[in-house]
Amino acid sequence: MGFVLTYNKLLSRSSRGPPVLWVSFKGAPPRGSRTWEGLMGGITMLRLEFDLATNLVGQPLVRQQVMKGLRGFLENANPVKPLVMSFHGSTGTGKTYVSSMLIRYLFQSGLQSPYVHHFSPIVHFPHAEHIEQYKESLRRWIQGNLTSCGRSAFLFDEMDKMHPGLIDVIIPFLGPSWVVYGTNYRKAIFIFISNAGGEQINNVTLALWHARKDREEISLQDLEPAISKAVFENPESGFWNSGIINEHLIDFVVPFLPLKHHHVKQCVVSELIQQGLEVRPDVIQEVADSIPYFPEEEKLFSSTGCKTVASRISFFF
């Protein structure tokens, strides 16, 4: 019998921390996970999967892609290359939420960990005329940090606002070579986050809805061509003409679908619980109704996802 790790029940949950699960396992662990570290990695993945399944609303493809990427990567003691994922979707659909959740499971102090590095073009690379300087600092930063910890994570937010050309400086760290500048960097994780492609994902989702295809049936193949066109062939995009694309260095493209009214209601419930407020049906309805929806005629999808839910609650309580 193969190794089977299952979660039996949820033992406790706090609104901030990861859930505590009771897990059991049968059979011999698979190759590469015969160690305590491998087993703990398996349990961490189960807890993350559970958290995604219970708290991330309306994003089946995200769950599927993220778990596939992380499992394959973490179960392998000697990955052939760093894990590179690119998150795409319109505002408030959960890109930052999911990336923070992953980081929380992978690093004990989450985003505060010294091994997690977060870049935002507006904060770190604001001036186009300094691009050469930024390239050098970014290369040195990544190299230096991978030298001190090969299992570092690098998050690049708002890739659509990154100056084209800048990101290519990290190409040597993303490929399958053994070492770069004397460092084995193949255990690192890179996550790119961007709104680019969001409009196209929304259009495809809408067109498929008109064609009576259920949201849950949408596949990656339905969305990938539109995302590629919008993100990688757009001169405004940080990925424009990028070697990262031409050399196929992104392992997982992760599309975030637009959220519907009932998803927004679920976000309101989570937020009420998180804020320690009573879960009142009238508040849930009013907050969800107060958000703008598109397209104009059918009002199917939230224009701001769940982004403004937290701030709206106080207006209706």
Q: What is the largest CA-CA distance in the chain?
A: 61
Q: Which of 94, 197 has the CB closer to ligand ATP?
A: 94
- 90 annotated ligand-binding residue: yes
Q: Which of 94, 175 has the CB closer to ligand ATP?
A: 94
Burial 32-50 (b: 16+ CB within 10 A, else e): ebeeeebbebbeebbbbbb
Q: Which of 204, 267, 283, 288 binds ligand ATP (CB under 6 A)?
A: 267
The one segment of 2-10, 57-65, 138-146, 208-216 that binds ligand ATP by CB under 6 A: 57-65
Q: Which of 267, 272 has the CB closer to ligand ATP?
A: 267
# residues contacting ligand ATP (CB under 6 A): 18
Query: Minimum Å distance from CB 256 to ligand ATP?
Result: 6
Q: Which of 40, 277 has the CB closer to ligand ATP?
A: 277
Q: Which of 57, 83, 101, 180 binds ligand ATP (CB under 6 A)?
A: 57
Query: Minimum Å distance from CB 90 to ligand ATP?
Result: 7
Phi then psi for 205, rounded to 5 degrees?
A: -60, -40
Query: Minimum Å distance from CB 254 to ligand ATP?
Result: 11
The one segment of 10-18, 137-145, 227-235, 303-311 that binds ligand ATP by CB under 6 A: 303-311
Task: Tell me how far apart the terminal alpha carbons of the chain are, to the nearest angstrom.
Answer: 54
Query: Minimum Å distance from CB 126 to ligand ATP?
Result: 18
Between the CA of residue 46 and those of 14, 27, 87, 167, what are the distances in Å? Answer: 17, 17, 21, 33
Helix ranges restricted to H, the chain? 36-55, 60-74, 95-106, 121-124, 131-148, 171-174, 198-210, 220-232, 243-246, 261-274, 281-290, 309-316
The one segment of 74-82, 108-116, 129-137, 299-307 that binds ligand ATP by CB under 6 A: 299-307
User: Which burial class, exposed, middle or buried, applies to 78 when counting CB atoms under 10 A from its CB (0-12, 13-18, 19+)?
Assistant: exposed
- 54 annotated ligand-binding residue: no
Q: Which of 152, 194 has the CB closer to ligand ATP?
A: 194
DSSP 198-232: HHHHHHHHHHHHHTT--GGG--HHHHHHHHHHHHH
Query: Minimum Å distance from CB 273 to ligand ATP?
Result: 11
Q: Which of 56, 138 has the CB closer to ligand ATP?
A: 56
Looking only at residues 16 through 55 of this chain, which bind ligand ATP when binding is defined by CB under 6 A?
55
**Alpha carbon distance 85, 64 (integer Å):** 13
- 304 annotated ligand-binding residue: no
Q: Which of 97, 119 has the CB closer to ligand ATP?
A: 97
> Do the Cβ atoms of 172 and 180 come closer than 8 Å?
yes
**Alpha carbon distance 233, 227 (integer Å):** 9
Helix axes 261-274, 309-316, angle to 10 degrees: 70
- Residue showing tokens 């590469």: 32
Nearest to 84 by CA among 249, 271, 301, 245: 249
Looking only at residues 82 through 111 of this chain, which bind ligand ATP when binding is defined by CB under 6 A?
89, 91-97
Contacts of residue 51, defined as CB under 8 A and 6 or more positions apart, other chains included, come to 18, 19, 101, 105
DSSP designation for 158: -
- 110 annotated ligand-binding residue: no
Looking only at residues 144 through 203 of this chain, which bind ligand ATP when binding is defined by CB under 6 A?
195
Looking only at residues 192 through 251 of this chain, which bind ligand ATP when binding is defined by CB under 6 A?
195
- 95 annotated ligand-binding residue: yes
Binding residues: 89-96
Query: Could you list the residues that contact ligand ATP (CB under 6 A)?
Result: 55-59, 89, 91-97, 195, 267, 305-307
Binding residues for ATP: 89-96
